Amino acid sequence: MEWIDTHCHLDEESFTQDCHDTIQRAVDAGVTRMLTIGTTLDSCRRALELAQTYGSVFAVVGLHPNYIQAAQPGDWERIVELSTAPKVVGLGETGLDKYWDHSPIELQTEYFDRHLELSRKLDLPFVVHCREAEVETVALLRRHFVQGPLRGVMHAFCGSADTAAACLEMGMYLSFGGMVTFKRNEELRQVSLAVPLDRLLVETDAPYLSPTPFRGKRNEPAHVRLTAACLAETRGVSKEVVAAATTENAQRLFRLA
Ligand SMILES: [Zn+2]
């Protein structure tokens, strides 16, 4: 079986000591490819460096909604330059976060728009972060959907069935992380059932959101199998079915070789 972790943050400080071993553990576990997501300009540069060092690592570049308040003039232009580098396979993560509320919502909206415009211009998929802002996120996506189907993914999806349906209708993929394995999240598991197998992705969001039984510990790409196994069990299909489908979906969305 082969897996692709479509969302992790290998450049985070908690991996500085053992990033190499972490990637190796993932590959040994069948996680043949992983997408490391940049959150600031510096983080994107580190993500790209990792992608250029490891054959199994690909980079997604953008400015995270929680960090745009701290972005410097010119940072966005540098992101645009990085987005055409080899092994950059997507844009983000972008989106809206009303939980942390680190950046004014107007600024978050402006950057979300920028990422989506660039996505269409370069035909690169985008990665959406949405926290306590489902209505606003769907509204913004709908404005862009007027120009045609959206090529993107809702990362670590934890929204409602309605939000899932709206995103699917606009052509998007839904990616599930460790949260779907938590005992109390039965509702989220039910939502995952409504996602057609050809729109389903898996991720870790490592070092965050460790799946059961590693909850509370540092997460890593090798653990993506646990989340995938939970999705398979929920659907009543084999792990092989989910592995094959999610791998094919990730390859299609991010055009991975
Ligand atoms: Zn993330």
What's the average model confidence in pLDDT over 156-175?
98
0.75 surpassed by pTM = yes
pLDDT, tens digit, 9 for 90 and up, residues 67-116? 999 999 999 999 999 999 999 999 999 999 999 888 899 999 999 999 99
Instruction: Note the pLDDT of residue 43.
Output: 98
Instruction: Note the pLDDT of residue 101.
Output: 80
Instruction: Note the pLDDT of residue 32.
Output: 96
Distance 184 CA to ligand 1 centre (A): 22
Instruction: Note the pLDDT of residue 162.
Output: 98
- Cβ-based neighbours of 191, under 8 Å, separated by 6 or more: 157, 159, 160, 161, 164
Distance 8 CA to ligand 1 centre (A): 6
Query: Residues 141, 142, 146, CA angle at the centre, nearest 5°?
Result: 115
The sign of the torsion formed by the CA atoms of 12, 50, 90, 107 equals positive
The 3-state DSSP class for residue 167 equals: helix
pLDDT, tens digit, 9 for 90 and up, residues 169-199? 999 999 999 999 999 999 999 999 999 999 9
pLDDT, tens digit, 9 for 90 and up, residues 26-80? 999 999 999 999 999 999 999 999 999 999 999 999 999 999 999 999 999 999 9
Distance 37 CA to ligand 1 centre (A): 6
Distance 30 CA to ligand 1 centre (A): 21
Instruction: Note the pLDDT of residue 102.
Output: 85
Distance 25 CA to ligand 1 centre (A): 20
Distance 235 CA to ligand 1 centre (A): 25
**Alpha helices, DSSP H, located in the chain:** 19-28, 41-53, 75-82, 105-122, 134-145, 161-169, 186-193, 224-235, 239-254
Structure tokens at 242: 């989910």
Distance 179 CA to ligand 1 centre (A): 13
User: Looking at the predicted structure, is the pLDDT value of residue 119 above 80?
Assistant: yes
What's the average model confidence in pLDDT over 112-123?
98
Residue type, 54: Y
Q: Which domains occur in the chain, in start order?
A: 3-254 (3.20.20.140)
Distance 91 CA to ligand 1 centre (A): 12
Instruction: Note the pLDDT of residue 4.
Output: 98
Distance 224 CA to ligand 1 centre (A): 14
User: Looking at the predicted structure, is the pLDDT value of residue 252 above 90?
Assistant: yes
What's the average model confidence in pLDDT over 2-12?
98
Question: Distance of CA 203 to CAs 72, 178, 209, 226, 257, Å?
Answer: 30, 8, 10, 10, 19
Residue type, 250: A
User: Which residues, chain by chain, have CB under 5 Å from ion ligand 1?
Assistant: 205
pLDDT, tens digit, 9 for 90 and up, residues 127-155? 999 999 999 999 999 999 999 999 999 99
Query: Residues 76, 80, 85, CA angle at the centre, nearest 5°?
Result: 140
Distance 93 CA to ligand 1 centre (A): 7
Distance 236 CA to ligand 1 centre (A): 28
Instruction: Note the pLDDT of residue 172.
Output: 98
User: Looking at the predicted structure, is the pLDDT value of residue 257 above 90?
Assistant: no
Tell me how far apart the alpha carbons of residues 233 and 223 are, in angstroms, rounded to a whole number: 16
